Structure 1
Amino acid sequence: MEKAIVTLKKGEGRTLKAGGMWVYDNEIASITGDFEDGDLIYVHDFDSYYMGCGFINTKSKITVRMLTRVKGEEIDKAFIRMRVQAAWDYRKKVVDTSSCRIIFGEADFLPGIVVDKFADVLVVQSLALGIDRLKKDILDELVDILKKDGISIRGIYERSDAKVRENEGMERSKGFIGDPFDTKVEIIENGVKYMVDIAEGQKTGFFLDQKYNREAIKKLCKDARVLDCFTHTGSFALNAGLAGAREVTGVDASSLGVSQAEENALLNGLQDRVHFTCEDVFELLPRLEKEGELYDVVILDPPAFTKSRNSVKNAIKGYREINLRALKLIKDGGFLATCSCSHFMTPELFTETVGQAAKSAKKRLRQVEYRTQAPDHPILWAADESYYLKFYIFQVCEEK
């Protein structure tokens, strides 16, 4: 059957023409031909110039997600295998693949799907209707490709339970794909052991994007007193402990996260030096300041304070507040590691916000490093949504 055609308005499709993957509803002049949401369609410019093939969903503001720019290229099993093979080959070159993100949606030219590998288990998150139809083929090809590299996958779990699925007119979905298995998976990253709960943990169970940022703080933590805020399952705190910190406190508002973090400390034999507390960071930091507590290293790894442009102003207040409070708890010459994982908090805005916090705290910052997400979360230029993690390490000096 002939595919339907989406024709862009004159002057629209700038992101697409720059190499991006999305066509928004307000960029479309017309849709001709028969289709159902989730179907593959062609995209033409206003003058009928062929721009590629993708899948359509009129329920979503992102109406088309592109799969190929090559005219005549079929979206079949061979195409999917080529995309999945390229994604795996890339990871083998740039990252420790024992646990890693193998497919990162648009940045791997498979829009709307994420696949994480934790040891011998895969976790998939499908967020778009069209890619949901291709999900089984993508997973089948991935399992086969890994098997040919001597990696046997013992189970696949789906974590398509994100709210954004509702924007696509889809129900949230969670559970085993295939036979059930133990959803607690032990992994080793940077020499640290973790028990990852892929069924109940946040997102896919563990934040792989901070892998090398966690490694980067180790050199600052030897013999240090460390405070790790928004610790989740203890990852930065455990890296600090393994690096030889004399005392580490990890803080998180989630009791489940804290209990998992304590389990991970025990797993690494760090329970004597790495401790966790279940508290609201915004309430804890002012109290620690009043009590006169000081630390050699403070780490801020908060959740995304904004998931839309509309709430950026409130997010700025949140980032400014936690950075201001953290800076007041750092000894002269100590270190701050601070980050934002919100795509809408741009690098420029985050930099400006941390700078304002330093000014208010009467502290001077010496930048040690600026980092982003691990390379298994590649940043596709022109697909701005693929660049989201900003990570600074500063030395903190008193104003003199």
Structure 2
Amino acid sequence: MRTLTLKKRASQAARAGRLLLKEQDFVKPPHFEEGDLVQVQDQAGDFLALAYLARQNKGIGWIYSYDRQTKWGQDFFQEVFQVAKDKRQGLFHDDLTTAFRVFNGEGDGLGGLTVDYYAGYLLLQWYSLGIYQNQAAIIEALKTVYPEAIAMEGKNRFKSQAVPHKNERLWGQATDQAIMIKENGINYVTRLADGWMTGIFLDQRLVRDYLMSRLALGKRVLNTFSYTGAFSLAAAMGGALSTTSVDLANRTKELTAEQFAANGIDLGDSHKVYVMDTFDYFAYAKRHDLTYDVIVMDPPSFARNGKQIFKVTEQYPQLVHDALEILSPGGYLICSTNAANYSPKAFQADINQGAKADGHQIKLVESFQLPDDFPVPPLSPESGYLKVKVYQKQK
């Protein structure tokens, strides 16, 4: 096994628990094959950790053990999966929630791989060819730790000519059918093999619960960038007077109707869906004197609408400004982003900028980050990507 040397700051970060390795962390940037196993040391030659190297959007490798005796392979995978499962026993015993993350990459000790649990089905997401090459051993380890598993589906979130497909059935029965899960007592329809997304973003569980239990009752709720309408459904189940869902995707109305129907609710005058651009809807609502008591904004990091390009780090101030124009006095604005490159400081500054443009005043009433089943290791801002702020409009 080769030994590579880390620079002083990277060595300090590694000792403090940071697992991600970037090219600039090394004294001499390494040449490597995907999945190479290496030792890393500090500039004094002292052993730091064992790591595997693989190119991904965050960096070029991950520390996987601080014990030089650790053997990479199925037994190691089984151990980290079991430890992660044991930490989530509270969720496994919660009859009201049957979908959550059971392995969060570096937060659970092995970067480049996440595993989600969907009512007995496991969804694996691979972020590099280096970890994907261990697929057989990882599947066997998961079968041991999850004997109750019905099937495993994979999503390949890396580019490689060797693995051209993005969805892959890994083990068990076919996963192309709809899977009904529960979250906070609400039914959601999910599809594990339907593109990149499944029908629900599991990292927003606490925010949906807050909307349902604390904000929705008797309120008119606008859910922008609504996807399958999960926030809208949470609001409806919390007693919202009405919900309006807005998204550009052509399937939005069909998918939202499906989610509502799974809970015995029909779309109608009280629950509307608009297939259109959010900025266009804000303008439409303003022209027609429509106002809302709660507005949810959870935009994608990047999106394309014809020739128009949306970048969350550039256009959040305008979103906040336009939303506040149609938010009733005393109403609540839920601002969310999952952009890892959008720092909490910049996010806060952009919200303030949007609010001040027309002299609006807002008060922060609640904040959310990733829930406990999405643990983040120390000194790893790239991994703590979710930022949610809830504001009340003062004027």
Fold shared per TM-score above 0.5: yes
Distance 1:136 1:360, change over 3 A: same
Partner of 2:18: 20
How many angstroms does 1:173 deviate by?
Answer: 3.2
- Picking from 332, 335, 339, the partner of 1:338 is 335
**1:242 matched to 2:237:** yes
- Distance in 2 between the 1:170 and 1:65 partners? 21
Q: Which residue of 2 aligns with 1:390?
A: 387
Aligned to 2:323: 326
Deviation at 1:375, TM superposition (A): 1.5
Q: Secondary structure at the match of 1:79?
A: helix
CA shift for structure 1 position 264: 0.8
Q: Secondary structure at the residue paired with 1:386?
A: coil
**Paired residue for 1:263?**
258
**Structure 1 residues 133 and 261: CA distance shift in structure 2, 3 A:** same
Match of 1:365 in 2: 362
TM-score by length of 1: 0.88
The 1-side partners of 2:108 and 2:55 are apart by 23
d(CA) in 1 for partners of 2:298, 2:32: 44
- Which residues of 2 match residues 8-157 of structure 1 at below 5 A? 8-9=6-7, 12-30=10-28, 36-57=33-54, 62-93=59-90, 96=94, 98-147=98-147, 152-157=148-153
Distance 1:239 1:89, change over 3 A: same
- Letter of the 2:228 counterpart: T
Q: Contact 1:52/1:67 (CA < 8 Å) preserved in 2?
A: yes
2:276 match:
279
Q: Percent identity?
A: 26
Q: Indicate if the aligned counterparts of 2:49 and 2:65 stay in contact, CA closer than 8 A.
A: yes
- Paired residue total: 382
CA pair 217-12 structure 1, distance change in 2 beyond 3 A: closer
**Residues 168, 322 of structure 1: alpha-carbon distance in 2 compared, 3 angstrom cutoff:** farther
1:173 aligned residue: 166
Query: 1:242 touches 1:270 (CA, 8 Å); kept in 2?
Result: no
Which shows bigger deviation, 87-96 or 339-348?
87-96
Partner secondary structure for residue 299 of structure 1: strand
Give the 5 Å matches for 1:207-226.
207-218=201-212, 219-226=214-221
| Distance change >3 Å, CA 14–CA 237, structure 1 → 2 | same
Distance 2:324 2:234 in 1: 21
- The residue type paired with residue 177 of structure 1 is L
Look up the SS of the partner of 2:35 in the other structure. coil
Conserved 8 A contact 2:119-2:181: yes
Which structure shows the bigger proportion of residues in helix conformation? 1
**How far 1:106 sits from its partner (Å)?**
1.0
Greater displacement, 16-25 / 223-232: 16-25
1:219-273 Cα shifts (integer Å, max 9, x gaps): 2111111101111111110011011111111111112233211111112122243
SS of the residue 1:84 aligns to: helix
Match of 2:286, SS state, is helix
- The 2-side partners of 1:323 and 1:199 are apart by 34
Shift of 1:31: 7.7
Q: In structure 2, what is the Cα distance between the partners aligned to 1:74 and 1:13?
A: 22
Structure 1 384/204 Cα, relative in aligned 2: closer, same or farther at 3 Å?
farther
CA contact (8 A) 1:25 1:61 kept: no
Alignment check: 8 A CA contact 2:78 2:144 kept = no
Contact 1:4/1:31, CA 8 A, preserved across alignment? no
Report SS of the residue matched to 1:29: coil
Amino acid at match of 1:207: F
Distance 2:69 2:230 in 1: 47
2:249 to 230, 254, 260: 254
Check whether the contact 1:129–1:168 (CA below 8 A) recurs between aligned residues. Answer: no
Tell me the secondary structure at the aligned position of residue 216 of structure 1: helix
CA RMSD, 1 decimal: 2.5
Q: Give ranges in structure 1 of 5+ residues lacking alignment.
A: 307-312
Change (3 A) 1:108 1:231: same
Q: Structure 2 unaligned runs (5+)?
A: 304-309
1:363 alignment partner, SS class: coil
SS across alignment from 1:385: coil
Amino acid in the other structure paired with 1:158: G
1:309 paired residue number: none
Q: C-alpha distance in 2, partners of 1:48/1:170?
A: 38
The residue aligned with 2:179 is: 185
Moved more, 169-178 or 111-120: 169-178
Change in Cα spacing, 1:204 to 1:235, as seen in structure 2 (3 Å) is closer
> Counterpart of 1:322 in 2: which secondary structure?
helix
Note the C-alpha offset of 1:204: 4.7
